[in-house]
Each structure stands twice: as structure tokens, then as C-alpha cells.
Structure 1
Amino acid sequence: MIYLRYLLLGTTGTTLAVFGYLWLTLLSPFTYHPPEGLPTIKSGEHQVFVYGTLRYPLVRWLVYGRTGNPEPATLEGYRRKALDLATAPKGKVEGLLLRVSAKELARLDRYERLGIRYERTRETLSNGQQVWAYRRL
């Protein structure tokens, strides 16, 4: 019986540690300070192509508060290279198209550590649609 109590305490502690880490890295205003000179985000809807962790509904919910209604999308002329996009003339990357508000785009920027770890670039999907995509610096 005493082992069950320690198991429960250990599981609870681990769960709290994981949630604390996720909050600190994904949502906390204390761990990301955008570099000077980043362009301001225009109000209105933004379209973002995602090809990594943001394909998962739980991650999107944690990052910007909702899972949204993503659509399948393809970016041609690239291939995935670990956590980045690499130019590949005959390549294509399957991902999702997200439609987000300016506030949600700012949260995506914080998650991707815009200006520190990633840059946000304009890309053209295979259907001709202009979207934002995050590329490693």
C-alpha cells in the first residue's frame, strides 16, 4: 500500500514537471524576448504552412489556444531536413495550412522563437497560395 502512495506521488510530480516545462517553453512570456527589428504583425487573418510539431492538434491547442480547422497542404521545391526545410527542386513537403489571427501568429512566433531559432518567410504552396512558413536560422 505504501508503494502505491509513492507511485502516485511520483506520477503526480512528473506530470506537474511536464506541464510546467510546457508552459515555460510554449506559453511563458518570461522565456522569449523577440529581437529588435522584427516586422510588426498586421491585423487580420494569416495563413501558415506547418510541417512539424504544429501538425498535432494538442500542440496547436497548447500554443495558441485552439486546434483550428487545418487543411492538408503541399509545399513543392523543398524537402524536410530534421526540423527545417531544405531546397530540393523536385521535392515536396506535406503539411497543414493553418488560418490564424494576428494574436495567434504572435503566439506561433513565440513558440518558434522567431528571430532566434526560426525566421518566418513567404512561401508559395503547390496550389499557388501565399503562406507563411517557419525556416531555421
Structure 2
Amino acid sequence: MAGPAHHQLFSYGTLQYREVQLAQFGRLLEGKPDALPGHRITYIEITDPEVIAVSGSDRHPLLVASSEPSDAIEGTVFSITDEELASADDYEVDDYARTQVVLRSGTKAWVYLGAQTEQSPDGRSTAAA
């Protein structure tokens, strides 16, 4: 049995899929809608055959910082355990890096951003040099 939930994880992509949750966490996650301001979505091609098999796609969304303050990414925030966070890390390919952000609701949550981005002190991501 999984331990208590200690982490908030914001998903804007395949971690919201029923099949992915069952494969990665062994259960369906309960979540609530939220959004990440100051970002927009682009897409990347995934080459990891296991991730493609679980998600059903080789094209996955990727968040990037936006210069438009009105841009925001809608998604779901989930409460997960330490073990589930480690499983999410295993699922995400090297193109993603887990980063802590503040969502529209004020909730601090982990999110997977592009591995070539970094967070500024105000919680916005910026392209890494």
C-alpha cells in the first residue's frame, strides 16, 4: 500500500490519461483542475518505446515560458506519494525536468518542464543558457 500523499503534481499532458495512471501508479489519481500562468504548450517527439506504448503516442506536450502574461496552461493537480513521484520521474523522458511552480490557485506543485528551462525567482520558467 502506498504511503500518504506528500506532493502536489500538476499534469497538463499524458499523466492525466487513465491508462498512464494505471501503468505508472497502479491506481487512478484523484485531481482537481488548475492552471499554470505564463506558459504555453509546444510538442516534442518521444522515442522511448515504453513511454509510447503506455501513452499511445510519440507526440507529447511540453511547456515553455510565454512572454504573454495572459497565457496559461490548463491541467490537473494531483496529490501523490513519494513512491508515485519517483514513478512519475521514471515515466518522463530526458526531455523533461521536474520543477516546482506556483499554480493559479496558489498551490505549490511539481511540474515537468522542458529540460532546457530553469525557474526564475518569481516562479516563471526561462530558457536555460
TM over 0.5: yes
Bigger helix fraction: 1
| Residue among 15, 23, 26 paired with 1:65 | 26
- Structure 2: 5+ residue stretches without partners: 44-60, 116-129
* Structure 2 counterparts to residues 12-31 of structure 1, below 5 A: none
Deviation at 1:117, TM superposition (A): 2.5
Aligned residues: 93
- Structure 1: 5+ residue stretches without partners: 1-42
| Residue among 94, 97, 113 paired with 2:77 | 97
Bigger strand fraction: 2
Q: TM-score under structure 1 normalisation?
A: 0.63
Q: How many angstroms apart in 1 are the aligned matches of 2:31 and 2:105? A: 16
The amino acid of 2:105's aligned partner reads: N
Which has the higher Rg, Structure 1 or Structure 2?
Answer: 1
Percent of aligned pairs sharing the same letter: 34
RMSD across aligned C-alpha pairs, in angstroms?
Answer: 1.5
| Alignment deviations for residues 80-125 of structure 1 (CA, whole Å, 9 cap, x no partner) | 1112111122201010101110001000000003xx2211101110
Per chain length, whose mean CA-contact separation is higher, i.e. which structure has more relative contact order (CA < 8 Å, sep 6+)? 2
| Residue among 67, 76, 98 paired with 1:120 | 98
Moved >4 Å (runs of 4+): none
